Chain A
Amino acid sequence: MKARVFVTLKAGVLDPQGKAIHHALEGLGFGGVNDVRAGKLIELDLAEGTRGDEIEDMCRKLLANTVIENFRIEQLG
Chain B
Amino acid sequence: MNSAVVVFPGSNCDRDLAVALQLVTGRKPHMVWHRETELPDGIDVVGIPGGFSYGDYLRSGAMAARSPVMRAVSEAARRGVPVLGICNGFQVLTEAGLLPGALMRNSGLSFVCRPVQLSVENSRTLFTSGYRQGEEITIPVAHHDGNYQADAETLARLEGDGHVTFRYAGEVNGSAHSIAGIVNASGNVLGMMPHPERAVEQAHGSADGRRLFEGLLATVTA
Contacts and interface: CB of A to CB of B under 8 A. Distances in A.
Given A16-B106, A16-B107, A68-B104, A62 B149 contact: no
B102 interface: yes
B104 A13 contact: yes
B97 to A, nearest CB: 9
Contacts of A62: 58, 62, 66
Interface string B81-103: 00000000000001100001110
Contacts of B102: 65, 67-68
B150 A16 contact: no
B59 interface: yes
Contacts of B62: 62, 65
A17 interface: yes
B211 interface: no
Interface residues of B, number: 20
Interface string B23-53: 0000000000000000000000000000000
A68 to B, nearest CB: 5
A57 to B, nearest CB: 13
A17 B85 CA distance: 26
A41 interface: no
B130 to A, nearest CB: 31
Contacts of A63: 58
B115 interface: no
Interface in A39-75: 61-63, 65, 67-68
Contacts of A20: 109
A62 B96 CA distance: 10
B106 A13 contact: no
A61 B147 CA distance: 22
B8 to A, nearest CB: 16
Interface string A9-40: 00001101100100000000000000000000
A62 B62 CA distance: 7
10 contacts: A14-B147, A14-B149, A16-B104, A16-B106, A17-B105, A62-B58, A65-B59, A65-B102, A67-B101, A67-B151
